[in-house]
C-alpha cells in the first residue's frame, strides 16, 4: 500500500503493519499511510477484524522529534491536527481492532495503541507518555483516550511524570489487556482477532458504535443510542440466522454472513 504502512489480509483478519525503521516514528507520511490503511480496512468486506502491528522489535516510538523540533506554531498546529485525525480514522474502524505491542509504545506510539479495542503486549514491553520531558504534552489522545481508559488520576501520574511503565504495571493499570511472551505477541493478537472472522459483522459494528458512542455522552443518551442500534439489527440476515439457529440447534452454532 504505502512505503511505511501496509494492509495484509488473510482469513478475514487484516494486519496494518508499520515498517519505518528503526522505531516506526510517526512522521507526516506514516500518519497519512495509517489513515489510508484504516479506511481500506473499514471498507473491505473481507476484513472482519484488524491487528495493529509494528513488527517484532518495536510497536511505535512516537512522533519524529527531529522533524518536530524546528516547526513553528502554525506548522505544529497543522501537524497535531493531522495526527489526531489519522488516529481517529483508526479508532473509528467499525470492526474489532487489537494492538500487538512489541518493544515499546511511547508518546504517539501509545496514542496509536489506545485507538485499538484491545492491547496485547510482550512481557518486556514499556509504554508511556514522555512528552512532558520535552516540555510539551501528549497531543493525539494521550490525555483523553488514556483518561477514559484508566481514569484521570492514574493518567495524570503518567503524563505529569512522563515515566516509562513496564508491562506488568501497565496490565495492572488497565493500559494493557493481556501480556504474553515477546515471541507470542502477534500470534496472541491474531488468535483474538480471528474469532471474529466469521462473526456477525453488522452486530459487531453496532456493539462498537454503542460502546464508543455511549462513552462520549450521558447515560440517558447512551441508552437511547444502544436501543436504536439494537432494534436496527432486526433488519439483518445475521439476526434471523442467529436466532433460528439458537432455537433449532442451541447456542454458539450459528453461521453468519455478515449481512
CA distance 68 to 72: 9
DSSP state of 141: S
Q: For 101, list phi and psi in degrees, rounded to 5.
A: -105, 120
Cβ neighbors of 18 (< 8 A, separation 6 or more) are 4, 5, 24, 30, 34, 52, 53, 54, 55, 59, 60
Q: Is 3 a catalytic residue?
A: no
CA distance 259 to 257: 5
Give the bridge partners for 52, in sequence order: 16, 99
CA distance 228 to 193: 27
Q: For 99, list phi and psi in degrees, rounded to 5.
A: -95, 125
Catalytic, out of 10, 75, 111, 178: 111
CA nearest neighbour of 121 among 53, 209, 182 = 182
CA distance 233 to 259: 10
Catalytic, out of 43, 67, 75, 131: 131
Whether residue 86 contacts residue 31, with contact meaning beta carbons closer than 8 Å, is answered with yes
Q: Which three cell numbers stand for residue 109?
A: 506510539
CA distance 219 to 206: 17
Q: Is 226 a catalytic residue?
A: no
Task: Say if residue 22 is preceded by a cis peptide, omega within 30 of 0.
Answer: yes
- Taking the CB of residue 70, how many other CB atoms lie within 10 A of it? 8
Residues with a catalytic annotation lie at 111, 131
Amino acid at each position: 500500500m504505502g512505503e511505511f504502512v501496509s494492509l495484509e489480509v488473510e482469513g478475514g483478519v487484516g494486519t496494518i503493519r508499520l515498517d519505518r525503521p528503526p522505531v516506526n516514528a510517526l512522521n507526516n507520511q506514516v500518519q497519512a499511510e495509517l489513515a489510508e490503511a484504516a479506511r481500506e480496512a473499514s471498507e473491505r468486506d473481507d476484513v472482519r477484524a484488524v491487528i495493529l502491528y509494528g513488527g517484532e522489535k518495536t510497536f511505535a516510538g512516537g512522533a519524529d522529534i527531529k522533524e518536530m523540533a524546528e516547526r513553528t506554531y502554525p506548522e505544529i498546529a497543522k501537524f497535531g491536527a493531522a495526527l489526531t485525525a489519522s488516529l481517529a480514522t483508526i479508532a473509528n474502524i467499525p470492526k474489532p481492532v487489537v494492538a500487538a505491542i512489541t518493544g515499546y509504545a511511547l508518546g504517539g506510539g501509545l496514542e496509536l495503541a489506545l485507538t485499538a479495542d484491545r492491547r496485547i503486549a510482550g512481557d518486556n514491553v514499556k509504554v508511556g507518555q514522555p512528552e512532558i520531558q520535552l516540555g510539551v504534552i501528549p497531543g493525539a489522545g494521550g490525555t483523553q483516550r488514556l483518561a477514559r481508559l484508566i481514569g484521570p488520576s492514574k493518567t495524570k501520574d503518567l503524563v505529569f511524570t512522563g515515566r516509562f511503565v513496564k508491562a506488568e504495571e501497565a496490565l495492572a493499570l488497565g493500559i494493557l489487556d493481556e501480556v504474553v511472551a515477546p515471541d507470542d505477541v502477534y500470534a496472541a493478537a491474531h488468535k483474538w482477532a480471528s474469532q471474529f472472522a466469521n462473526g456477525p459483522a453488522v452486530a459487531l459494528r453496532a456493539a462498537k458504535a454503542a460502546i464508543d458512542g455511549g462513552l462520549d455522552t450521558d447515560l440517558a443518551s447512551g441508552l437511547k443510542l444502544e436501543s436504536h442500534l439494537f432494534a436496527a439489527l432486526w433488519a439483518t440476515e445475521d439476526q434471523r440466522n442467529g436466532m433460528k439457529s439458537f432455537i433449532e440447534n442451541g447456542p454458539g452454532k450459528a453461521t453468519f454472513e455478515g449481512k
